[in-house]
Chain A
Amino acid sequence: MKIERWLKDHTFHHSEFWDLRAMVAEKEKQNLKISLCIPTLNEEKTIGKEIVIFKSELMNRYPLLDEIAVVDSGSEDRTLEVARAFGADTYYSGDILKSQGFKRGKGENLWKAIHQLTGDVIVYVDADIKNIHPRFVYGLVAPLIYRPAIKYVKAFYERPLAVSKTHIRPSGGGRVTEILTRPLFSLFIPELTAIIQPLSGEYAVRREVLEQIPFPIGYGVETAHLLDVHAKFGLEAFGQTDLDQRVHRNQETRSLGKMAFGILQTFLGRAEALGMIDGLPELHKVLNQFQVKDNEHELVGFKITEEERPPMIEIPEYQQRFQRTV
């Protein structure tokens, strides 16, 4: 019953928040600062449009965003040049918090952004969205502005009615979500099944939450967030917003296998730490997949280690920059 009540009260549709003028006024009244972080790796084809739309609509026209930042893991294409050409702040992740070194992964960029960006709220939006629209930001930020008790707002998407090309697909109820994450949540933490799209890469979070949770640097970052925020603050801290459709590149099943492997590592580690399971053996870090060569099946092993960054609040430079203590 709790899930049903929560769904009713904490699930939004972006169209509820069409009045951007009012939203900006409320944001200013609360003296809230909002930063947008777009983590990237070789996204020159889609990044330009995202920056143009957000800068024009949510900075120039309606000043909802105080900062638009691209945090990059070392693109080999012109991602950063394109982003800069349209007025985004651009950072190479390895240049942020140099004392902590550099690890390659999306989670690393998200974590470094907490130190680099100055907002009270950080909204993360992936760079590969083809049908980008301002709602991808304001739909997620709005519940944080209007509902002080909500701390973490996650996106979910409807399936598009028609998709023009076969290689584009809707992400609504993605394969890894339905085959792995949702069954796991159902087994161990049924409350979290209320989150319709637990793996979506778009979410807005208050700094006071972000700085307190650890960040896996790879595939497990979204799963870890949900488990940790749920353990610390409960389901009431979450909100979710329907952003209609999201069109992006399709991923091959094999890539999804790697993603699932990383997510499982994160999940099992968390489940043990939270006392939901115990006596886990040492987990292997190599995912074996097959490929066929000259009619022979060949085993290919991928080493996938879900390294983690500690809560940002524990980093001395961060404490100093934001006048925070553990």
Chain B
Amino acid sequence: MPDTIEDVLGRLPDIRDATRDLKETLLANLVMTGEIPAPTFQEANRGQFLRDRFSECGLSSVSVDEVGNVMGIREGSDGDSARNVLLVAHLDTVFDARADHTIEVREDRVIGASVGDNALGVATLATLPSLLDMLGVEMRSNLMLMGSTRSLGRGDLEGMRFFLENTDRPIHSGVCVEGVQIGRLSYTSLGMVRGEITAEVPDAYDWTRFGASGAIRQLNDVMTAINRIPLPQTPRTSIVFGSIHGGTSFNTIATQAALRFEVRSDSSDEVRRVHERIAEIAEEQTAETGANVKLDIVAQREPGGVPFGHPLVKHTRAVMDRLDITPRVSPSTSELAVFIRRNVPAVTLGVSTGRNLHEAEESVEIEPMFTGLAQLVGVVIAIDEGLCDED
């Protein structure tokens, strides 16, 4: 007889207490993961560490695929008929390999580049097999743990897409593990287009021409024009300017400048409309000024999601509720989008509370981690027991 969700929920407080016994293991995994630089496309060393951890935990089929994804499987008792549950944490970070990756462990928190996004997610995967063994959790399903590569920025979820396109195992359901924030609950993905606009002023530029003012001014005009694009409140649509780079000093006219942006919307039509308008703006700017303004699209997603009433979402909320985690529902543009696109029910969950994300002083709190781990174990057990299947 499968457990009921109440049985699973009843075990959660004990599970949370037990996770404390693995405090040093989790933190050591966090430190050792986080101190290995892993900018997007250079995740191999961090992946190697995770691979070693998977081997040490006795997982089977420990391997690294063509794009660097690291996989390990905790085999289920159902043998050939076991369903496959995929837990994924992205390996890459926003930090350059040359940044200081030293991590500091305080009594109540851990501080350092990438600890929250996503060293803690990876460390959670590295610790989970020991935790399940310690708790005596025997699953019928195969628990597939994967550190995925090329997730962020120009990586465009390549690791995750490669895996789901090429695996011969049907994936029953998925959980994306993010270090922060605990309470995060994503089960829908936004439509998105992500791109870079570069402005270059040619060497033979005619500086006497009206409006001639260098690449940064060109880019500024482009941004002003983008800001004038009308955006509907429904379906929700937004444009994020993520970063700008350009120029070299106070008083030298810049010859190059670049803007990175993302358009997000609940509607793919809106994403397409805004994308087209931005492309026109870039062309107009080139035509009118003689500067070279180019648009380069680096990633796109279709919107979609698991319905709110799906048992996976419902029981995930129940697990969070029992652990006094307040769910913060937000759509995602990360690994979840790949699950959703392939019609695999999945959620994204956070493990702890963090601050100063993507800064050198990025930090995560230790105490919430135990609740975050218990939440993950609860959801995995509920999936394994078939409680999250649709009728």
Contacts and interface: CB of A to CB of B under 8 A. Distances in A.
Nearest to A62: B56
A164 B99 contact: yes
B102 A130 contact: yes
A165 B100 contact: yes
Interface string A34-59: 00000000001110110111011100
B31 interface: yes
Nearest to A130: B102
Interface string A64-90: 000000000000001001100111000
A229 interface: no
12 contacts: A52-B28, A55-B24, A56-B25, A61-B25, A81-B107, A82-B106, A85-B107, A86-B23, A86-B24, A131-B35, A162-B98, A247-B102
Given A130-B102, A162-B98, 11 more contacts: A44-B106, A48-B104, A48-B106, A51-B24, A52-B27, A53-B32, A56-B25, A61-B25, A87-B24, A131-B102, A247-B102
Interface string B11-24: 00000000000011
A320 to B, nearest CB: 34
Interface in A221-257: 247
A49 B105 contact: yes
A117 B103 CA distance: 29
A133 B98 CA distance: 20
A86 B56 contact: no
A132 B279 CA distance: 50
A49 B24 contact: no
A44 B108 CA distance: 12
Contacts of B25: 56, 60-61
Interface residues of B, number: 19
A167 to B, nearest CB: 11
Contacts of A85: 107
A130 B28 CA distance: 14
B59 to A, nearest CB: 15
B35 to A, nearest CB: 7
Nearest to B23: A86
A53 B102 contact: no
A56 B98 contact: no
Contacts of B104: 45-46, 48-49
User: At the interface, is chain A mostly helix, strand, loop or mixed?
Assistant: helix
Closest 4 CB pairs of A and B: A56-B28, A48-B105, A164-B100, A56-B24
A49 B103 contact: yes
Contact of B24 (A52, A130, A131): A52
A123 B324 CA distance: 44
A55 to B, nearest CB: 4
Nearest to A247: B102
Interface of B: 23-25, 27-29, 31-32, 35, 56, 98-100, 102-107
A82 B24 contact: no
Contacts of A130: 102
A53 B27 CA distance: 8
Contacts of A82: 105-107
A60 B31 contact: no
A130 B100 CA distance: 11
Which of B28, B104, B106 is packed against the most chain A CB atoms within 10 Å?
B28
A52 B107 CA distance: 11
A86 B107 CA distance: 8
A81 B99 CA distance: 30
Contacts of B28: 52-53, 55-57
A164 B102 CA distance: 10
Nearest to B56: A61
A162 B102 CA distance: 13
Most buried by A among B25, B98, B102, B105: B105
A53 B103 CA distance: 12
Contacts of A133: 32
Contact of B107 (A48, A87, A164, A247): A48
Nearest to A52: B27
Given A131-B35, A164-B100, A78 B56 contact: no
A162 B106 CA distance: 26
Contacts of A45: 104
B24 A60 contact: yes
Contacts of A52: 24, 27-28, 31, 105
A170 to B, nearest CB: 14
Contacts of B105: 48-49, 52, 82, 86
A48 to B, nearest CB: 3
Interface string A139-179: 00000000000000000000000101100000000000000
B135 to A, nearest CB: 16
A130 B35 CA distance: 10
A56 B56 CA distance: 13
Contacts of B27: 52, 56, 86
B162 to A, nearest CB: 31
A44 B105 CA distance: 9
Find the residue from A45, A52, A130, A247 having the highest chain B CB count within 10 A.
A52
A226 to B, nearest CB: 31
Contacts of A87: 24
Contacts of B103: 49
Contacts of B98: 162, 164
Contacts of B99: 164
A67 to B, nearest CB: 15
Nearest to A44: B106
Nearest to A83: B107
Nearest to A82: B107
A201 B56 CA distance: 31
